[in-house]
Structure 1
Amino acid sequence: MSAKPGSAERFEAAGSDLDDARELYREAYRIGRMTVEPTAAEFGYRFTSTGDDDLSLRASQVEGRITGASFTQGEYVVSWMTRGEGVSDLLGSPMKFLHGQPAMFANDRPAQFDLIDYRLNMMHFGGAYLEGVAAETEGSVGPIRFDTTFRPSGDALRRWTETVATVARVVYDDGSSALLRAEANRAAAVTLLEVFPHVALQPRSDLAVPSGGKTRAAVEFMIANAHRPMGTDEIAAAAGISLRSLQAAFRREYGVTATDYLRSIRLDRVRQELRDAEPGLATVAEVARRWGFTHLGRFAASYTTRFGEYPSVTLASSRGATHLRSRG
């Protein structure tokens, strides 16, 4: 699909021809080894899509059975079934579709599926768009890995359902302005990130201090003052460069923002404290908060991505814990 930012593009296909259905779904979802067959006397399908490059709402309805292996790349897809039955990711973490309960599709790898007499609603987020919102709201960088087995419930499910209804009203309304559509897209992206557990696959950055120059001064200032609140404007002033130059230097040399770099320094400090802590006298939450991590879920995801283990594992294997075990 190609559309100008903020504009809505509509597509619809329907019919009863098996070959047409195979071609449609193979092209839309990069499906390999696909089979499409009737389950009753008459086969039928209907596929619709409305939206833009950032977000599109799609619906697929089939009177029949479709099996195959889809490959979702360059976008993120959440779906919920309202009719029929099906299972996805048979070769990974099998996910049975439950009516009205959304779940994330596997990303960047083939996911085998089997769908029978179904209606499936979907939200497709452009990969760069969702990753951009994640960078803005969470400070993450790069691709995102979602837990495909997670199903929201309670308040989280209600919030997701309400957001979908609100966004759909805007997307399907031809009179919606470009600004309104953009705000609706962002609301959907923010809610997705808040409701569905995920980890940003941020490559670990080398935090070695540069040999010289303005960036070195900025890094040394952050290391010396990581324990207190500071903004990027203060960091830039301490290094004697403009804010724009600061951000450009960090992106060029490390591939992250100055804020992300500071967060990595603080993650290092958390890890050191957890390694030195007495498990009975310290908790992950209090150490994380001390270093400015107020959202513990996002902190845990960032920590796990950077160090390859949960913070609770670091604490459990700390020097204090080792000392207690050796005494026992």
Structure 2
Amino acid sequence: MSDQQPSRIQEATQSTDLDEARDFLASAYAGQQWTADQTRQPFSFRYTAVGDQAMTLRTIRFDGHLEGVMTPSEDFVVQWTNRGTATIGSGEDRIVMETGRPQLWPQQGAAFSYDDYDQRIVQVNRSALETVAGERGIAPGSLRLDHTVRPDDRALQVWRSSVQLISHTVMDGHASPLLQAEMGRLGALALLELYPVVSASLAPELLLPKNGHVRLAVEYVHEHAHLPITTSDLAQVANLSLRALQHAFQRILGTSPNAYLRRVRLDRVRDALLQGDPATTNIAEVARHWGFAHAGRFAAAYAEQHGEYPRETLRRH
């Protein structure tokens, strides 16, 4: 085991030179076609970054106009402004930032335009987020978050409380590397609560705009399958009545919401058994983790879905 601790990132710079500030930010974010102009107030710029390779907290104050294109990124970046105006994207995909409200950057990149702004950023490394998402059964390499979703009040409260705790801890230069690593994990968990994971295995019908409500419920199942979920929960997520939700699931997916949830959980059990060590993996414990308390009924349902019993899957490790 290596005794090497994660290297700490701590950076701060400021300038009153407009071109220098533009070039610094364009270099830091691998930007393209970045231009800057002075506004009515005197130009000033300040940038700070603190954290480690898994997660950094950043602040940018830019008294001027800045626009350009952000290139695709492997990291997940949530940012919000405390003052100024800001837009992301263009045309129908254009997002007008609301003061104090977090917004996930499009991972495919986007154009932007900012004026006299004070910005806060939480940047989470992909591998760090995939580690936490993997505990929820999301396969590495397929993780994608839907930046178009408008987080609800509960998710916003979880995010803001988490960021406040993270900020107090990470800004403390004496915080231990272990505590800092825990803050990175907390940031990843809060981010997964803030924006839903886009499943790569969604049925094509769910991608149609008319089926958007059901897609929200399905994505919620894939993201929260490790938690207790009721049909009423899914109806609330989809903004549908219970009857409308059940009818929509049957029409689009040919099954009920509860049956779909059970299918997803049985898939997660199979993934865990395929990755488990036959000598140490306890099938009953894996089943209970995914909500299957009755061993006999679980084994029968598993065999019906996967064509073999759990012990046979585990032996094929």
Category of TM-score, reference length = shorter chain: 0.5 to 0.7
**3-state secondary structure, aligned to 1:138:** coil
Give the 5 Å matches for 1:19-34. 19-34=19-34
> Which residue of 2 is the match for residue 291 of structure 1?
263
> Which residue of 1 is the match for residue 148 of structure 2?
149
Whether the 8 Å CA contact 2:162–2:187 is kept in 1: the answer is yes
> Which residue of 2 is the match for residue 117 of structure 1?
116
**3-state secondary structure, aligned to 2:149:** coil
1:291 maps to amino acid: R
Counterparts of 1:290 and 1:75 in 2: how far apart (Å)? 32
RMSD: 2.7
Distance 1:5 1:192, change over 3 A: farther
| 128-137 vs 118-127, which moves further | 128-137
Counterparts of 1:12 and 1:181 in 2: how far apart (Å)? 19
**3-state secondary structure, aligned to 1:57:** strand
> Which residue of 2 is the match for residue 252 of structure 1?
none
Counterparts of 1:48 and 1:76 in 2: how far apart (Å)? 18
1:129 correspondence with 2:101: no
Report the alpha carbon displacement of residue 137 of structure 1 after superposing the two structures with TM.
2.6
Count of paired positions: 218
Counterparts of 1:169 and 1:48 in 2: how far apart (Å)? 15
2:32 maps to amino acid: G
2:173 maps to amino acid: D
Counterparts of 2:100 and 2:183 in 1: how far apart (Å)? 21
Distance 1:129 1:92, change over 3 A: farther
Report the alpha carbon displacement of residue 132 of structure 1 after superposing the two structures with TM.
2.2
2:39 maps to amino acid: T
> Which residue of 2 is the match for residue 37 of structure 1?
37
> Which residue of 2 is the match for residue 162 of structure 1?
161
Report the alpha carbon displacement of residue 17 of structure 1 after superposing the two structures with TM.
0.5
> Which residue of 2 is the match for residue 80 of structure 1?
80
Counterparts of 1:182 and 1:70 in 2: how far apart (Å)? 28
Deviations for 1:143-162, whole angstroms, at most 9, x for unmatched residues?
Answer: 43222222323221111100
Distance 1:284 1:141, change over 3 A: farther
Counterparts of 1:115 and 1:5 in 2: how far apart (Å)? 37
Counterparts of 1:93 and 1:36 in 2: how far apart (Å)? 23
1:129 maps to amino acid: A
Counterparts of 1:13 and 1:21 in 2: how far apart (Å)? 9
Whether the 8 Å CA contact 2:80–2:100 is kept in 1: the answer is yes
Report the alpha carbon displacement of residue 50 of structure 1 after superposing the two structures with TM.
0.5
Counterparts of 1:28 and 1:92 in 2: how far apart (Å)? 28
Whether the 8 Å CA contact 1:81–1:101 is kept in 2: the answer is yes
Whether the 8 Å CA contact 1:160–1:195 is kept in 2: the answer is yes
Give the 5 Å matches for 1:219-234. none
Larger radius of gyration: 1
Counterparts of 1:120 and 1:32 in 2: how far apart (Å)? 20
**3-state secondary structure, aligned to 1:137:** coil
**3-state secondary structure, aligned to 2:144:** strand
**3-state secondary structure, aligned to 2:110:** strand
Unaligned runs of 5+ in 1: 204-273, 295-328
Whether the 8 Å CA contact 2:35–2:66 is kept in 1: the answer is yes
Counterparts of 1:5 and 1:75 in 2: how far apart (Å)? 21
Whether the 8 Å CA contact 1:5–1:54 is kept in 2: the answer is no
Give the 5 Å matches for 1:1-328. 6-90=6-90, 93-107=93-107, 109-201=108-200, 279=251, 283-291=255-263, 293=265
Q: Which runs of 4+ in 1 moved over 3 A?
A: 4-7, 200-203, 277-280
1:125 maps to amino acid: V
Report the alpha carbon displacement of residue 23 of structure 1 after superposing the two structures with TM.
1.3
Unaligned runs of 5+ in 2: 203-245, 267-317
1:155 maps to amino acid: R
Distance 1:291 1:16, change over 3 A: same
1:14 maps to amino acid: Q
Distance 1:118 1:162, change over 3 A: same
Given the two structures, how large is their TM-score scaled by the length of structure 2? 0.63
**3-state secondary structure, aligned to 1:53:** coil
Counterparts of 1:139 and 1:198 in 2: how far apart (Å)? 9
| 193-202 vs 96-105, which moves further | 193-202
Given the two structures, how large is their TM-score scaled by the length of structure 1? 0.61
Deviations for 1:58-95, whole angstroms, at most 9, x for unmatched residues?
Answer: 01111100000011422110111111011012267211
Counterparts of 1:143 and 1:91 in 2: how far apart (Å)? 28
1:187 maps to amino acid: L
1:45 maps to amino acid: F
Distance 1:28 1:72, change over 3 A: farther
| 35-44 vs 83-92, which moves further | 83-92
Counterparts of 1:278 and 1:113 in 2: how far apart (Å)? 42
Counterparts of 2:255 and 2:197 in 1: how far apart (Å)? 23
Counterparts of 2:176 and 2:7 in 1: how far apart (Å)? 8
